[in-house]
């Protein structure tokens, strides 16, 4: 089930891992010439919760806005091209660049050693800092030192995460988007968030419930990413950026979004040498070092799945009992539950349970509880249908024999029907268990680091998408296969009478 | 012992029982015969309330086990429970519980419905198994038994609750001839012990050997009844004669 989710979360990774694997051989095609021929500069960015970088205007949702949207327009105009944005998850931008669905990355890409080893970076177009943001009333928080033992939210794959990784005393919660970090900060699940200064300027400064804690730190540069070896394209963009800076276009754009400050003067004095290039990592080089981390994340995946499946079985049983043997209203409720839960996406159910309940009802579930409930309640609909089929497969004569012996309905169900139905539904249950191992990767959207998320983080750190990807896939396969063997064994035990 | 008066039952628009009256004395064996669809099985299933009759009454050991009009569903449930606690039933297809051993099949109702002590019922169960000749199969699962053995276990299971009346719905129809003989032997033994039995059957041998009285059902009514020698050797009605002839030709 939920194979679409599975596809959505896994396929891009494996795909990009393969592509990265093949990209070890540099391509010598001239991207700039191709772009000029088409007349379109396709820039990759994540407009989902992407303010103030690039986002859909609330008043006109089909129109893009943000300082990077403006910059892309200006840049393309300067190059005699038309700008066209391509949507991609932010932490997927670097691995996806080679898929050629877009030509450049223009979306808060930091000039870091890691990034520069995977894409070629232009000169910077914005100077940014890390900014700690907390709730307005938490006036005693001034820096990370004040947050030991507390939870702090950061964006997946960001420099903010790297900053936090140097503070093991702080619990890092890793999010897919800035909007979610602020949401959890406001409902009280986080003590603070670390964001890039443009985010802080846009979200936190105008919000009276939030406060910028302390000054910015860890100055960094945003640069445009072009595919490795595309020197002509990079030079053309570099030249265009210099011109946009010189003629005041950049300043005008940044002023509009409240981002211009004296620190941006560094853009003028920037020299290429100030970032050293890390040697590109080869396939599998980091696998051994990261195995323990991935194994630990596997435990999270296994724990979530086993707990989720327990909820699914218990709720599924309750639902099928209500449907088959409950009074009329309960039967209707059971049917409605089944249809709604299997007819709506797990992702939305997860958001509803984690964010919806917290915001609307003040029911602040922990991320793990929310994840287990979402997985369990979603799969319960499947389990209920499995069990219904299992019950239907028990011959009527079994009910009659039990009734003739004076056994009541519930005694018959418990002693005669359930044990026989259970072994019939074990194979489909095994299926669901294995599916849940993989579906559980979706809970990374509520900032749980399970196996897939750990892989994403480490692959981003190291650039070893293929090696770590194979390792991660192997771990998934290992747990699925182990589950399959265990269920088969259980099946054999339950079928002792049929030997 | 059992008194059935004007029993009626319909399934939808099909009237299956059209007012059946039947009395059986304790310690006797009656057999119900008749063509398919004549209502004999439905009648049997009304006795232990696997089917709920539409009208008429059934008294078991002097107590009413059918619902009285205007009665609460709870009171009806109590009557149904009484019918089931005082009867045992043997099915054509055995209906043993496949996930339980022979012994567990027999113990299930005495332990969990009657809530009697395990030691006592286990002792009785083993005696019952000896009676049906299967004491060495107590830990087998039903799937490991032949049809005849399964049916003998089913009889032991039905007797384990100490019913006053044993209902048998075509107990030998699903069996090969030699297995049929095993089961007939058990039924004969029960008859000699004075067990009260009501047997629905197609089989002449079973109807003839076991019964004190034979009831010939036809079209939802008892067409003819009497001692087996009368019904079988000198049937009064044409329908009975036709039916017996059709059996003889099989």
Our CA-based measurement puts residue A9 at a distance from the nearest CA of chain B, in whole angstroms, of 42
pLDDT mean over A225-243: 92
Confidence band, pLDDT 50/70/90 cuts, at residue B35: confident
| Greater model confidence, B9 or A206 | B9
pLDDT at position A32? 87
* Cross-chain CB nearest to B99 (options A400, A407, A420): A420
Our CA-based measurement puts residue B123 at a distance from the nearest CA of chain A, in whole angstroms, of 19
Q: Is B113 on the interface with A (CB under 8 A)?
A: yes
- Whether B215 maps to a domain, the answer reads yes
Q: What are phi and psi of A331, to 5 degrees?
A: -60, -45
Closest CA to A433 of A353, A313, A350, A321: A313
Confidence band, pLDDT 50/70/90 cuts, at residue A273: low
Which CATH number is A129-219 given? 3.40.190.10
- B180, B224: one domain: yes
Q: Are B152 and B186 in contact (CB under 8 A)?
A: yes
pLDDT at position A6? 46
Give the chain B residue whose CA is nearest to the CA of A402. Answer: B109
- Whether B187 maps to a domain, the answer reads yes
Our CA-based measurement puts residue A485 at a distance from the nearest CA of chain B, in whole angstroms, of 22
- What domain count does chain B have? 2
- Whether B182 maps to a domain, the answer reads yes
Confidence band, pLDDT 50/70/90 cuts, at residue A100: low
| Greater model confidence, A362 or B83 | B83
Contact at CB, A404 and B89, closer than 8 angstroms: yes
> A347-351, A376-380, B46-50, B232-236: which has the minimum mean pLDDT?
B232-236
Report how far apart the first and last C-alpha atoms of chain B are (Å, whole number).
35
Q: Is B109 on the interface with A (CB under 8 A)?
A: yes
Give the chain A residue whose CA is nearest to the CA of B106. Answer: A405
Interface contacts A/B by beta carbons within 8 Å: 69
- Whether B145 maps to a domain, the answer reads yes
Give the chain A residue whose CA is nearest to the CA of B157. Answer: A405
pLDDT at position A5? 46
A419 vs B contacts (CB less than 8 Å): 99
Torsion of Cα atoms, A212 then A217 then A218 then A224, to 10°: 50
* Cross-chain CB nearest to A498 (options B50, B143, B157): B143
Instruction: Report the CATH architecture of A3-127+222-274.
Output: 3-Layer(aba) Sandwich (3.40)
Interface of B with A in 142-171 (CB under 8 A): 142-144, 154, 157-158, 161, 167
- B170, B49: one domain: yes
Q: Are A297 and A429 in contact (CB under 8 A)?
A: no
Provide the whole-model pTM. 0.78
Confidence band, pLDDT 50/70/90 cuts, at residue B250: very low
pLDDT at position A29? 61
Q: Is B81 on the interface with A (CB under 8 A)?
A: yes
Average pLDDT of chain B to the nearest whole number: 91
Is the pLDDT reported for residue A40 higher than 90? yes
- Whether B115 maps to a domain, the answer reads yes
Confidence band, pLDDT 50/70/90 cuts, at residue A466: confident
Confidence band, pLDDT 50/70/90 cuts, at residue A321: very high
Q: Is B87 on the interface with A (CB under 8 A)?
A: yes
Our CA-based measurement puts residue A314 at a distance from the nearest CA of chain B, in whole angstroms, of 22
Closest CA to A416 of B24, B112, B249, B19: B112
B161 vs A contacts (CB less than 8 Å): 405-406
- B10, B73: one domain: yes
- B125, B170: one domain: no
Same fold for the pair A3-127+222-274 and A129-219 = yes
* Cross-chain CB nearest to B143 (options A401, A420, A497): A497
- B78, B174: one domain: yes
Our CA-based measurement puts residue B217 at a distance from the nearest CA of chain A, in whole angstroms, of 23
> A453-467, A476-490, B215-229: which has the minimum mean pLDDT?
A453-467
pLDDT at position A283? 57
**In sequence order, what E strands does A139-179 have?**
151-155, 171-175
ipTM: 0.95
Contact at CB, A406 and B89, closer than 8 angstroms: no
Q: Is B73 on the interface with A (CB under 8 A)?
A: no
Of the residues B162, B194, B211, the one at which a domain ends: B162
Confidence band, pLDDT 50/70/90 cuts, at residue B31: very high
Q: What are phi and psi of B166, to 5 degrees?
A: -105, 120
- B132, B155: one domain: yes
* Cross-chain CB nearest to B93 (options A397, A411, A420): A397
| Greater model confidence, A283 or A175 | A175
Q: Is A496 on the interface with B (CB under 8 A)?
A: yes
A424 vs B contacts (CB less than 8 Å): none
Is the pLDDT reported for residue A11 higher than 60? no
Which residue matches tokens 């900053």?
A163
pLDDT mean over B110-122: 95
A496 vs B contacts (CB less than 8 Å): 141
Confidence band, pLDDT 50/70/90 cuts, at residue B248: low
* Structural domain that includes position B36: 2-86+166-248
pLDDT mean over A276-300: 73
pLDDT mean over A127-142: 91
- B198, B241: one domain: yes
Contact at CB, B99 and A407, closer than 8 angstroms: no
- Whether B45 maps to a domain, the answer reads yes
**Residues of chain B with pLDDT > 70: what percent?**
98
Is the pLDDT reported for residue B182 higher than 60? yes
Average pLDDT of chain A to the nearest whole number: 87
B165 vs A contacts (CB less than 8 Å): none
Contact at CB, B112 and A403, closer than 8 angstroms: no
pLDDT mean over A166-177: 89
- Give the containing element (helix H, strand E) for B8: strand B2-11
A407 vs B contacts (CB less than 8 Å): 108-109, 112-113
| Residue B54, helix vs strand vs coil | coil
| Residue B220, helix vs strand vs coil | coil
pLDDT mean over B120-147: 94
Q: Is A327 on the interface with B (CB under 8 A)?
A: no
pLDDT at position A2? 42
Model confidence pLDDT, tens digit, residues A379-438:
999 999 999 999 999 999 999 999 999 999 999 999 999 999 998 999 999 999 999 999
- B222, B236: one domain: yes
- Whether B91 maps to a domain, the answer reads no
Which CATH number is A287-498 given? 1.10.3720.10
Contact at CB, A403 and B84, closer than 8 angstroms: yes
Residues contacting residue A30 through CB under 8 Å, at least 6 positions apart: A230, A232
Angle at A322 between CA A317 and CA A326, to 5 degrees: 145
pLDDT at position A21? 45
Dist CA A295 CA A301 (whole Å)? 10
- B157, B171: one domain: no
Q: Strand A120-135 relative to strand A192-196: parallel, antiparallel, unpaired?
A: antiparallel
Sorted by where each begins, the domain ranges of chain A are 3-127+222-274, 129-219, 287-498
- B136, B191: one domain: no
| Greater model confidence, A322 or A157 | A322
- B231, B124: one domain: no
Our CA-based measurement puts residue B218 at a distance from the nearest CA of chain A, in whole angstroms, of 25
B142 vs A contacts (CB less than 8 Å): 497
pLDDT at position A24? 43
Give the chain A residue whose CA is nearest to the CA of B109. Answer: A405
- B25, B58: one domain: yes
* Cross-chain CB nearest to B50 (options A403, A419, A498): A403
Q: Is A410 on the interface with B (CB under 8 A)?
A: no
Q: Tokens representing A51?
A: 């303010």
Contact at CB, A407 and B98, closer than 8 angstroms: no
């Amino acid at each position: 089930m939920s194979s679409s989710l599975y596809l959505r979360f896994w396929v891009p990774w494996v795909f990009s891992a393969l592509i990265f694997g093949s990209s070890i051989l540099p391509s010598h095609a001239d991207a700039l010439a191709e772009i000029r021929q088409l007349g379109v500069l396709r820039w990759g960015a994540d407009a989902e919760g992407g303010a103030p970088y690039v986002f859909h205007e609330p008043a006109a949702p089909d129109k893009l806005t943000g300082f990077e949207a403006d910059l892309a327009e200006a840049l393309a105009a300067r190059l005699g091209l038309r700008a066209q944005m391509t949507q991609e998850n932010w932490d997927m931008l670097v691995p996806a660049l080679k898929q050629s669905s877009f030509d450049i990355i223009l979306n808060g890409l930091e000039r870091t050693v890691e990034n520069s080893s995977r894409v070629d970076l232009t000169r910077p177009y914005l100077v940014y800092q890390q900014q700690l943001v907390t709730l307005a009333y938490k006036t005693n928080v001034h820096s990370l030192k004040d947050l030991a033992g507390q939870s702090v939210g950061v964006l997946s794959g960001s420099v903010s995460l790297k900053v936090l990784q140097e503070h093991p005393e702080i619990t890092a919660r890793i999010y897919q988007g800035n909007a979610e970090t602020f949401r959890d900060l406001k409902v009280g699940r986080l003590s603070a968030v670390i964001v890039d200064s443009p985010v802080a300027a846009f979200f936190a400064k105008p919000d009276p419930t939030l406060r910028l804690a302390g000054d910015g730190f860890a100055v960094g540069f945003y640069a445009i990413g072009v595919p490795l070896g595309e020197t002509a394209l990079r030079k053309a963009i570099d030249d265009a950026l210099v011109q946009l800076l010189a003629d005041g276009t950049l300043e005008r754009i940044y002023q509009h979004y409240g981002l211009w400050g004296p620190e941006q003067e560094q853009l003028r004095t920037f020299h290429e040498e100030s970032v050293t290039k890390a040697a590109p990592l080869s396939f599998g080089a980091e696998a051994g070092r990261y195995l323990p981390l991935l194994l630990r994340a596997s435990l999270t995946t296994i724990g979530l799945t086993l707990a989720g499946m327990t909820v699914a079985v218990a709720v599924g049983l309750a639902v099928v009992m209500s449907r088959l043997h409950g009074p009329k209203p309960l039967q209707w409720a059971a049917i409605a539950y089944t249809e709604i839960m299997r007819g709506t996406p797990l992702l939305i159910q997860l958001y509803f349970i984690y964010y919806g309940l917290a915001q609307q009802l003040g029911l602040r579930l922990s991320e793990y509880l929310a994840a287990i409930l979402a997985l369990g309640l979603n799969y319960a609909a499947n389990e209920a249908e499995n069990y219904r089929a299992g019950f239907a497969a028990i011959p009527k004569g079994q009910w009659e024999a039990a009734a003739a012996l004076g056994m009541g309905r519930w005694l018959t169900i418990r002693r005669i029907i359930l044990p026989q139905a259970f072994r019939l539904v074990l194979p489909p249950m095994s299926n669901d268990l294995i599916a849940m191992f993989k579906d559980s990767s979706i809970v990374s959207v509520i900032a749980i680091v399970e196996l897939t998320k750990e892989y994403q983080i480490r692959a981003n750190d190291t650039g070893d998408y293929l090696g770590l990807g194979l390792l991660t896939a192997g771990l998934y396969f290992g747990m699925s296969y182990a589950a399959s063997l265990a269920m088969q064994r259980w099946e054999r035990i339950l079928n002792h009478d049929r030997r | 012992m059992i008194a059935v008066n004007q029993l009626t039952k319909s399934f939808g628009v099909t009237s299956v029982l059209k007012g059946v009256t039947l009395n059986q004395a304790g310690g006797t064996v009656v057999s119900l015969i008749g063509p398919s669809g004549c209502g004999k099985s439905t009648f049997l299933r009304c006795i232990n309330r696997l089917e709920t009759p539409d009208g008429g009454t059934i008294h078991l050991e002097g107590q009413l086990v059918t619902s009285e009009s205007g009665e609460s569903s709870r009171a009806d449930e109590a009557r149904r429970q009484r019918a089931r606690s005082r009867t045992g039933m043997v099915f054509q297809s055995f209906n043993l519980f496949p996930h339980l051993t022979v012994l567990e099949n027999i113990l299930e109702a005495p332990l969990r419905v009657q809530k009697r002590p395990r030691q006592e019922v286990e002792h009785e169960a083993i005696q019952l198994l000896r009676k049906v000749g299967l004491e060495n199969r107590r830990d087998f699962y039903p799937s490991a038994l032949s049809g005849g053995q399964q049916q003998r276990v089913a009889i032991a299971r039905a007797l384990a609750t100490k019913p006053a009346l044993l209902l048998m719905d075509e107990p030998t129809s699903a069996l090969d001839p030699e297995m049929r003989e095993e089961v007939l032997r058990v039924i004969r033994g029960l008859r000699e012990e004075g067990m009260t039995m009501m047997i629905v059957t197609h089989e002449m041998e079973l109807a003839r050997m076991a019964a004190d009285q034979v009831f010939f059902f036809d079209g939802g009514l008892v067409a003819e009844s009497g001692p087996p020698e009368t019904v079988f050797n000198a049937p009064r009605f044409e329908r009975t004669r036709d039916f017996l002839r059709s059996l003889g030709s099989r």
